Structure 1
Amino acid sequence: MSNRSFASRTYRDEGVILRTHKLGEADRIIVLLTKRHGQVRAVAKGVRRTSSKFGAMLEPFMVTDVQLVAGRNLDIVTQAQTLRPYGREIVADYAKYTAAAVICETAEKLTDVDGESTATHYGLVIGALSALSRSRHAPELVLDSYLLRALATAGWAPSFTDCARCSEPGPHTAFSAALGGAVCHGCRPPGSASPAPETMVLLAALLSGDWPSADASIPPARREAAGLVASYLQWHLERSVRSLKHVERV
């Protein structure tokens, strides 16, 4: 292969490591969400050897500048440099770790493998991992805020004030994941949840980024909000997020 053809297949981007798994005796397959190329799956050769120069840079939750060579099925990592080592703080705390695991699993499910992922979703993941690593807010609040915003970015923005079906001004006392959030008495389907008013206020705060209100929320509202977020997520993904079961709620 000529140098010219090799160069045409080489590209560089920054990305967050969503997931890794072993390949052979020394290699690792990594799944990255990149800023400009969407979701990328690549092989990092030799990174499991103790002599590897960038094995630690390609661990989950790390934000890394990577150079890759495009391949037929998997790209190949040729260079890596850590930009933001969020993983170091996150893996040392179980609550942070489980929240980050859900964030990365959800991001992998929501972003397109073919590279159509927007910079908006990339920014959401980076912002959530940054908040976790710096202990800016309770891990469960960071997680639920990310999930709501990620779903909104994917086109499934919930409503927590006006009726999601007929737009009747709220607040309302019922919630339906299938209909898109808060529902009025006339639109409420059988079996709808009836969350406390404090829970709906918290959900709206998490979606809008009103952190003073979210941080001041009480534990019962947080627990109820978490259940509604999980049901809303599962309804729209049409599959479960396996790491959610490991998240501890206050």
Structure 2
Amino acid sequence: MLTRTEGIVLKTQKYGEADLIATYLTSDKGIINAFAKSPRKTKSRFGSSLEPLTHAKISLWGKEQALPRITQSDIADSFRQIRENYRDFVNISKLVEILISLTPVGIPNKRLFSFFLNILHIVKSSEHELKDALHLITRIRLLAVIGYAPRLKGCGKCGEKSLDFYPDSGTTLCTKCAVTPDRAGKPFMRINNKVIHFYTHSIEWPINISNRLKPGRETLSGLSGLLDKHLTYLLSKKLRSSEFFSGTAAQFR
């Protein structure tokens, strides 16, 4: 059966000597895997349409449950500028890793597709000096869209004000709610009001006007660390893209 859709290439993996399996976030099928015959050959008809982050119109042959074959792939936007910018590519790779790890395969989610495509366009066209805050905001918004955003506005149990974030609960907890027999010795992270305010605005403001948010370096660092701890708990491991970025950055210090 031949079907047509549009998708964003999240990743590819080698299959045999010249074939690839591509993972897409699609507009009407959710995340899917598809087989591409000989795209790594010099004269492949797929060209660069299977490069990571490429938005393409694709035709698929076969049943979705049995790894359909890509018969046609036409580029709508290559997002080459993101791939060629080291910081942009690493930060978008974090979003891709979060998507693949926390989103079930084959569940249609048009809102998620539109959101991620919009993120790529915004990052592609944004000013360089605004990128650090923007990349953090995109991570926050993605977690909110897929239902895994941490709660920082008030204690997650009683609603009282709290500045102590507990990764194992995904929320801040007040002293009373945190001090219970089942929570003895649980690690937490102390945050401040600037982190909470920036986080709240990041979720509530339209992302296309997020350049109005100008957090300080300490706020960015604190919230980034919180999200890393939150994701490490959710995934039971650190994001590979975060470890790669930290290791590479350390070489230039």
Q: TM-score, normalised by structure 1?
A: 0.85
**Displacement of 1:201:** 1.7
| Equivalent position of 1:232 in the other structure | 230
How many pairs does the alignment contain? 236
| Equivalent position of 1:134 in the other structure | 125
> C-alpha separation between the residues in 2 aligned to 1:94 and 1:212?
21
| Equivalent position of 1:79 in the other structure | 72
| Equivalent position of 2:182 in the other structure | none
Q: Is the 8 A contact 1:47 1:54 kept in 2?
A: yes
Q: In the TM superposition, what are the counterparts of 1:51-200 in structure 2 within 5 Å?
A: 51-71=43-63, 73-86=66-79, 88-113=80-105, 115-136=106-127, 138-168=130-160, 170=161, 172-188=162-178, 191-200=187-196
**Which portions of structure 1, spanning 4 or more consecutive aligned residues, are displaced by more than 6 angstroms?**
none
What is the aligned-residue identity percentage?
A: 25
Asked if residue 47 in structure 1 is aligned to residue 47 in structure 2, the reply is no
Gaps in structure 1 of 5+ consecutive residues:
1-8
Select 2:203's aligned residue among 207, 216, 233: 207
User: Pairwise CA RMSD of aligned residues?
Assistant: 2.2
| Equivalent position of 2:239 in the other structure | 241
List per-residue Cα deviations over 1:145-192 (Å, max 9, x = no partner): 233233333333322222222123x4x322122223232232235532
Amino acid at match of 1:243: S
- SS for the counterpart of 2:189 is coil
| Equivalent position of 2:220 in the other structure | 222
Amino acid at match of 1:80: S
Cα 1:247–1:203 change in 2 (3 A) is farther
Q: TM-score, normalised by structure 2?
A: 0.84
List per-residue Cα deviations over 1:174-217 (Å, max 9, x = no partner): 21222232322322355321113222222222222462453x10
